[in-house]
Amino acid sequence: MSLGQKLAPHLSLLRRYARALTGSQASGDAYVRATLQLIIETPDSFPAGDVRMGLYRIFQQIWSASHDREPAGDAYGAELSDAAEVARARLAAVTPLSRQALLLSALEGFSNADIASLIDVDVREVDQLLADALVEIDRQTRSRVLIIEDEPIIAMDIESITRDMGHDVAGIAVTRNEAVALAQSKRPGLVLADIQLADDSSGIDAVADILADMEVPVIFITAFPERLLTGQRTEPTFLITKPFQEHTLKAAIAQALFFDRATVPAA
């Protein structure tokens, strides 16, 4: 099996991580392309052992070498400046390594030992980095959240987690029409959306209708993330997989609000 064939199953997940880290589909995908380009140009330098770890390690090398440059003229995508502009005021309070550790753990499921290897820290530091990330980001962001979910138990879990984080819940919608109506009346600062809704309508269509009327960050929740992470069309920047863990949802919410222009610091 060629290296390309071995890497293929991991690319959609790397895109998910890159988009969450940068706050942009375009920027995240640009970093993934740069990662693949480097692998193509120097295949003999690909790390031995676990293929996914090797892929993420090369991505981290490129990210670490370039994310602190001035965005203008960055070879890894002009839209990097959009995320950088939104995040600049908040980055002073949030350690970049803490955010990377949080995403690698909560979103990507890496062990503490793997995270330590990927971000080049002692494994004993990882727990503190994870705790710091949640505290720092939660302190900065509060919002009103619209939940689009037709499974009552899942909706209740999402509502409970969201409220525990200090956010208000604008409402829970189970159909496309309900979601659009709630968005128009409540003007949420964040949308959490399932894909398949109660009346066989689409959460994707509901979100499209909402975004036609307002700018708001969206997190999609689906059992089939690979269907939305092909890199071939406009796709969600933030996406988590069902069944999800509480810390995964918290990490996605924190990152989505971290990069949102409209989110104000918590009192």
Rounded to 5°, angle at Cα 127 from 221 and 51: 60
The CATH number covering residue 123 comes to 1.20.140.160
User: Cα(first)–Cα(last) distance of the chain, in Å?
Assistant: 55
Do 15 and 29 meet the contact criterion of CB atoms below 8 Å apart? yes
Do 59 and 11 meet the contact criterion of CB atoms below 8 Å apart? no
Q: Are residues 100 and 192 in the same domain?
A: no
Q: Are residues 216 and 162 in the same domain?
A: yes
Range of the domain at 233: 142-258
Supply the DSSP string of 152-164, one letter for each residue.
Answer: HHHHHHHHHHHHH
Q: Where are the beta strands (DSSP E) in 85-210?
A: 144-148, 168-173, 190-194
User: How many whole angstroms from its chain centre is CA 115?
Assistant: 17
**From first to last of its 267 residues, what are the pLDDT tens digits of the chain?**
888 899 999 999 999 899 888 877 888 899 999 999 999 999 998 998 899 999 999 999 999 888 654 333 333 344 444 544 544 445 434 567 888 998 899 889 999 999 999 999 999 999 999 988 877 766 666 789 999 999 999 999 999 999 988 899 999 999 999 999 999 999 999 999 998 888 888 888 999 999 999 989 999 998 777 666 655 555 567 888 888 889 889 888 887 887 765 555 444
The CATH number covering residue 188 comes to 3.40.50.2300
Q: Are residues 149 and 211 in the same domain?
A: yes
Q: What tokens were used for 178? A: 């309900």
Q: How many domains does the chain have?
A: 3
> Is position 267 within any domain?
no
C-alpha dist (Å) from residue 172 to 22, 35, 143, 194, 214: 28, 39, 15, 11, 18
pTM exceeds 0.75 for this model: no
Q: Are residues 253 and 203 in the same domain?
A: yes
Q: Are residues 180 and 218 in the same domain?
A: yes
